Structure 1
């Protein structure tokens, strides 16, 4: 297991480096000029060239990346030339919003999807068909339609939940929970169907194994057979899906944060891209990459716990 973790850490460091370099190169090649965005509409050629020199934009791209990488290794992600704010400070202020949104959506998706999948596999018949229909409906509904419908019902008509905004957990736990209900539901709905299908297939395969028949023959309670034995053996593909869902929701936050006016990293990335703010984009890309790496490492550790043989490979 330690060898597996060490290998993953080495690969992760290389991955962060490669992704940050590609992001820098692609953003530098994209249309737009950071100096023009800072100066606005009316500026002289001399002022434009002077600002480009001050920002280091007249240097080769790889030289610019080298300077950024050197500072980043010392914990300094730089200052946005557009807003004048610290990149690390802006990301630190918005990161809890995105992590709260993605974390809660992943938990809701996993628990609801696994529960539906287990019920569908164990009971089958009419209950299984109902679960399948509900799962497919949830997967087929467009996210934007569901988001607008939820806002109309629960924020405008009933006025039970806020339509926009975010309340920090430290300021008010109840307000934090209420501000997350609608965006989390919007993110979680499509994934529940995927979890339900994956869990049902894995559970049906586990319940058909000989050891389950032997456990039942020895009088082991059905709840123990299903939850302690079959579900644990069916959990490895589900754990993989948890990691993929968490990572996939990173892109989904861009839409959700825009609809519900939440100050997260998705909105910051869109704003920085429109302004050609390379330093802010680099900071967001690095943070997203680190999150992906951390989630993959946790999935590997979960593999080792669920199946000790996985840690020996």
Structure 2
């Protein structure tokens, strides 16, 4: 298992380097006159040249990349070209907000999707039809539409929750919970039916296998078969789907955080992209890639624990 983890970490490092090279090249190639964007149209040619020298934009692209990489390996992701705030500090204050929302939503989605999907697989009646209809609706309605509906009804009209975030340094946990409630609900509604549909399919597939018929012939009850054997065998497929949902959710929270004015990665990404604040954009991309690598590693480890065939391979 240790050898497996080392191999996956090594492949993750290769992916991280490849993404950093590609992203850095595309950002700087498509950035246009970055110094001009920062200084504005009224800046003189001398001022623009001075700013390019200050930012190192007058150096070859590969020199700029290796300078960034050497600093990044030391934990220095650079500073914002507009606010001069270190990128690492910006991420350190915003990542906990985003990850709290995403992880909370995924834990609840995993529990609800497992329960609903299992019920739909066992009770092949109205529950099954509701799950399938809900999966179609959940895939069709964007998360930001659900977020706007929730904030309009529950926050603005009924005033049950704050319409905008009250999260700030030093605020009590109750402020976090109140501000996170509606965004988490929006993510859950958008993701739980799709997850339940996939788990339903995996459970049905397991029920059709020979080992289930053997267990039934031995007089083992349906509940024990479901919770002790079927769910364990269906878990790898469910974990894969949930991990893909989590990765996709990292992109969806950009708009959700904008709607609920949460101080997470989303508003920072939107602002940095619109301003061509490339050090911040690079930092956000690297953070996202690291999260994806970690999620995939955790899923592989859980699959290996659940499925002996994976451990052997």
Normalized against structure 2, the TM-score is what? Answer: 0.94
For structure 1, list consecutive stretches of 5 or more residues without a partner in the other structure: none
Q: Which moved more, 1:35-44 or 1:293-302?
A: 35-44
Partner of 1:10: 10
Please provide the CA RMSD for this pair. Answer: 1.8
Equivalent residue runs for 1:81-230 within 5 Å: 81-167=81-167, 171-230=171-230
Deviation per CA, 1:97-136: give whole Å up to 9, x if none. 1111211222222222221110001111223223323333
- In the alignment, does 2:58 pair up with 1:58? yes
Question: Residues 239 and 170 (structure 1 numbering): CA distance in 2 closer, same or farther, change over 3 Å?
Answer: farther
Q: Which moved more, 1:200-209 or 1:18-27?
A: 200-209
Q: Is the 8 A contact 1:95 1:265 kept in 2?
A: yes
How far is 1:168 from its partner? 5.9
Q: Is the 8 A contact 1:207 1:230 kept in 2?
A: yes
Find the aligned partners of 1:138 and 1:54 in 2 and give their Cα distance: 49
Find the aligned partners of 2:45 and 2:32 in 1 and give their Cα distance: 16
Partner of 1:45: 45
How far is 1:86 from its partner? 0.7
Find the aligned partners of 1:172 and 1:111 in 2 and give their Cα distance: 27
Question: Residues 61 and 238 (structure 1 numbering): CA distance in 2 closer, same or farther, change over 3 Å?
Answer: same
Equivalent residue runs for 1:226-245 within 5 Å: 226-245=226-245
Q: Is the 8 A contact 1:166 1:179 kept in 2?
A: yes
Report SS of the residue matched to 1:22: helix
Find the aligned partners of 2:246 and 2:138 in 1 and give their Cα distance: 18
Q: Is the 8 A contact 1:97 1:166 kept in 2?
A: no
Question: Residues 189 and 73 (structure 1 numbering): CA distance in 2 closer, same or farther, change over 3 Å?
Answer: same
Report SS of the residue matched to 1:75: coil
Report SS of the residue matched to 1:171: coil
Deviation per CA, 1:264-308: give whole Å up to 9, x if none. 112212211111111111111111111111011001101110112
The number of aligned residues is 313
How far is 1:49 from its partner? 0.6
Find the aligned partners of 1:253 and 1:243 in 2 and give their Cα distance: 15
Find the aligned partners of 2:81 and 2:19 in 1 and give their Cα distance: 22
Normalized against structure 1, the TM-score is what? Answer: 0.94
Q: Which moved more, 1:231-240 or 1:73-82?
A: 73-82
Partner of 1:271: 271
Report SS of the residue matched to 1:21: helix
For structure 2, list consecutive stretches of 5 or more residues without a partner in the other structure: none
Partner of 2:27: 27
Question: Residues 201 and 169 (structure 1 numbering): CA distance in 2 closer, same or farther, change over 3 Å?
Answer: farther
Deviation per CA, 1:204-230: give whole Å up to 9, x if none. 111222322332333333322111111
Q: Is the 8 A contact 2:35 2:51 kept in 1?
A: yes
Find the aligned partners of 2:137 and 2:159 in 1 and give their Cα distance: 26
